[in-house]
């Protein structure tokens, strides 16, 4: 098992939001050195099958509401799902911008996507960068600190399941977190499905068929 988080590198406080009160658990990861945040609702310690989202930082989508990606919509949908359930955790992972290549590089890939028609994969490799260098160790470490026994992971990416399991976190189920297809995000979603292996059935569904239910439980 890898190194745990030192208590001096963790701070907790209530955070009042439009979705109600969460427990904000800020922590500095001992491996990557970034300061991350877990938003926890209800009691998760010692529980199995806790609803969990590992959310990679995306300034353009999460803060500014960019429609090129589905990140901001997924962030909101995950928090809504945790609030409805009354218990769960969202781990917000810093240093994951652009699947780990950073904000400046990500914006450079946007130029290539707009001007040359490259997708999210080829635009990264065209500037000599890897497609995905994210590490989910910080999420596993904070989940262990929180005492979570196993998770139902909100994600469309099967790689996240295997990544968590590599760090010793049991994943009981993957919960799809599907965002409606639009003219702005269809190229991005298609590349994630065809090039990165994400499970995105809404790309094949009739427009509007998914309605208001972005989360669907999928047993492994």
Q: Does the residue 215 lie in any domain?
A: no
Q: Which residue has 């999210």 as its token pair? A: 120
Does residue 213 carry a pLDDT above 50?
no
3-state class (DSSP) for residue 194: helix
Reported confidence tier of residue 6, pLDDT bands at 50, 70, 90: very high
Q: Does the residue 207 lie in any domain?
A: no
The residues assigned a catalytic role are 132, 134
Indicate the helix (H) or strand (E) that contains 13. strand 10-17
Per-residue pLDDT tens over the stretch 43-71: 999 999 999 999 999 999 999 999 999 99
Q: Does the residue 111 lie in any domain?
A: yes
Residue 120 marked in a binding site:
yes
Residues 12 and 67 grouped into a single domain: yes
Q: Are 88 and 80 in contact (CB under 8 A)?
A: no
Does residue 153 carry a pLDDT above 60?
yes
Average of per-residue pLDDT values in the chain: 93
Q: Does the residue 19 lie in any domain?
A: yes
Identify the pLDDT of residue 220: 60
Residues 20 and 101 grouped into a single domain: no
Residues 79 and 22 grouped into a single domain: yes
Residues 19 and 108 grouped into a single domain: no
Residues 15 and 106 grouped into a single domain: no
Structural domain harbouring 186: 7-92+134-197
Does residue 19 carry a pLDDT above 60?
yes
Q: Does the residue 2 lie in any domain?
A: no
Residues with Cβ within 8 Å of 187's Cβ and at least 6 positions away in sequence, in order, are: 113, 119
Residue 54 marked in a binding site:
yes
Residue 150 marked in a binding site:
no
Residues 14 and 72 grouped into a single domain: yes
Residues 47 and 150 grouped into a single domain: yes
Indicate the helix (H) or strand (E) that contains 51. strand 50-56
3-state class (DSSP) for residue 103: helix
Number of domains in the chain: 2
Closest listed residue to residue 42, CA positions, set 101, 84, 98, 92: 84
Q: What is the CATH number of the domain that holds 18?
A: 3.40.50.10990
Residues 27 and 121 grouped into a single domain: no
| Spatial separation of the C-alpha atoms in residues 139 and 204, rounded to whole Å | 32
Identify the pLDDT of residue 205: 74
Paired sense of beta strands 150-154 and 170-175, if any: parallel
């Amino acid at each position: 098992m890898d190194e745990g988080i030192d208590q001096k590198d963790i701070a907790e406080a209530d955070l009042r939001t439009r979705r109600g009160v969460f427990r904000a658990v800020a922590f500095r990861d001992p491996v990557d050195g970034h300061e991350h945040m877990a938003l926890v609702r209800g009691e998760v310690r010692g529980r199995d099958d806790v609803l969990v989202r590992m959310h990679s930082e995306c300034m353009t989508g999460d803060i500014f509401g960019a429609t090129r990606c589905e990140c901001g919509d997924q962030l909101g949908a995950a928090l809504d799902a945790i609030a409805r359930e009354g218990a769960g955790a969202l781990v917000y992972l810093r240093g994951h911008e652009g699947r780990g290549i950073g904000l400046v590089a990500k914006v450079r890939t946007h130029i290539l996507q707009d001007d040359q028609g490259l997708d999210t994969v080829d635009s990264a490799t065209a500037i000599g960068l890897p497609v995905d260098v994210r590490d989910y160790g910080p999420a596993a470490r904070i989940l262990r600190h929180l005492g979570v026994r196993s998770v139902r992971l909100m994600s469309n990416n099967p790689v996240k399941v295997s990544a968590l399991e590599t760090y010793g976190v049991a994943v009981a189920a993957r919960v799809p977190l599907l965002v409606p297809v639009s003219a702005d995000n269809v190229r991005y979603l298609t590349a994630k499905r065809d090039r990165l292996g994400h499970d995105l059935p809404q790309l094949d569904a009739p427009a509007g068929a998914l309605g208001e239910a972005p989360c669907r439980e999928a047993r492994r």
